[in-house]
Structure 1
Amino acid sequence: MAFLLVIAGHQTTVNLVANGVHALLTRPAQLAAVRADASLIPGLVEEVLRCESPFGIATLRYTTEPVTIEGTAIPAGEFVQIALLAANRDPEVFPDPDRFDVTRDASGHLAFGHGIHHCLGAPLARLQAGIAFTHLLRRFPALRLAAPATAPAWQDNPRHRGLLTLPVRLH
C-alpha cells in the first residue's frame, strides 16, 4: 500500500503544488495575504484543490440502479464520470465560485472524491503541499513569474490537470 500511495500520489501532488504556485503568483493580493499570515496555508491548500485542482475528472463509475440527477434519468449499468472542476465550482456550495480566496471554507470540495472512494493519500497530499508552500514562500520572498502572466498551457490529460511549464524567478 505504501508503494501505491507514493506512485499514485506523485504526479497529482506535483500538480497540486505547481497549480497553487501559479494561482498565487497570478493573484498578488492572495499571495500577500498568505505571506503575511502563514496560518492561511491550510486554506490555500484547500482552495487550490477546489479551484485549481490537479484532478480533472473522477474515476469511472457505473450506476448500480436507475437514478435521476437534476432531471436527467440515468439507467442502471450506465457509465458515469464527474467533472470535478465543475462540481467544485457549484455556486450552491461555493458562493462566487470562480473567485480564488484562501480565506474561503473550501472543505466541501470533491478533489479527493467522497465516501468509500475518498482518496487514501489525501492527508499525505495536504501535508506535502502545505510544507511545499510554506518553505517556497519563506525561502524565496521574491518568488514571481519569469514572464508576464499569460494564459497557462495545461497538460492534455482529462484525468490529471497540471501545467506544462511554470517558469519562475526565485530572486
Structure 2
Amino acid sequence: MALTVLKVKNAKPGRHVDGRGLCLVVKPSGARTWVLRMQLKGHRRDYGLGSAHDVSLGDARTAAAELRRRVRDGFDPVAERRKARKVIPTFEAATRTCHETLGDGWKGGHHTRWLSGFERHLFPASARNRSIRWTALASSRRSLRFGWRYRKRRGDCSSASA
C-alpha cells in the first residue's frame, strides 16, 4: 500500500514500503530516511535519497523515478558515489598542503628549507602527477637513501654509534 504524508509522519520504527523499491526507513531513535532498493547487474543495492525531514514524499518519488531511469540506462549510482569520495591527491599536492598548514609554526628559514628539500629530491618529474599510493613507496625509499648519505657525509652516524 502506498504511503501518505500522514503515514510518513506517524510511522513507527521499521521499513515502510511505498512501492517500486522506494522505502521509508524509521530507526528506533525516530530518524527517518528515504531508501530506494534497486537491482543492477544481479546485485541488490539500497541507495539513500535523504532524510524525510529534508525530502518530502513527492520529492522522494520523483528522485526515485529519475534514479530508476538512469539505472536502466546503465548508470551505477553507488559506484559513482564511491568514486567521488575517493579523491587521492598527488604526492606533491599533499606535501604542499602540509607545508602550508604547518609552516606558520616553524621558525626562521626552516619553512623554506623544508619545502626546497622536497622540491630538489622528492618531486621528480615522473612522479609529479601521480597519486600518493604510487609515489609513497618510491619516495620514502629515495628520501631514506638521500638522508642516510647526507648524514654520513656530515659525520652524524659515527657519533651516534659510539
| Normalised-by-shorter TM-score class | under 0.3
TM-score by length of 1: 0.19
- Asked which structure has the greater CA Rg, the reply is 2
Q: Kindly indicate which of the two structures has a greater share of residues assigned to helix.
A: 2
TM-score by length of 2: 0.20
Higher relative contact order (CA 8 A, sep 6+): 1
Q: Kindly indicate which of the two structures has a greater share of residues assigned to strand.
A: 2
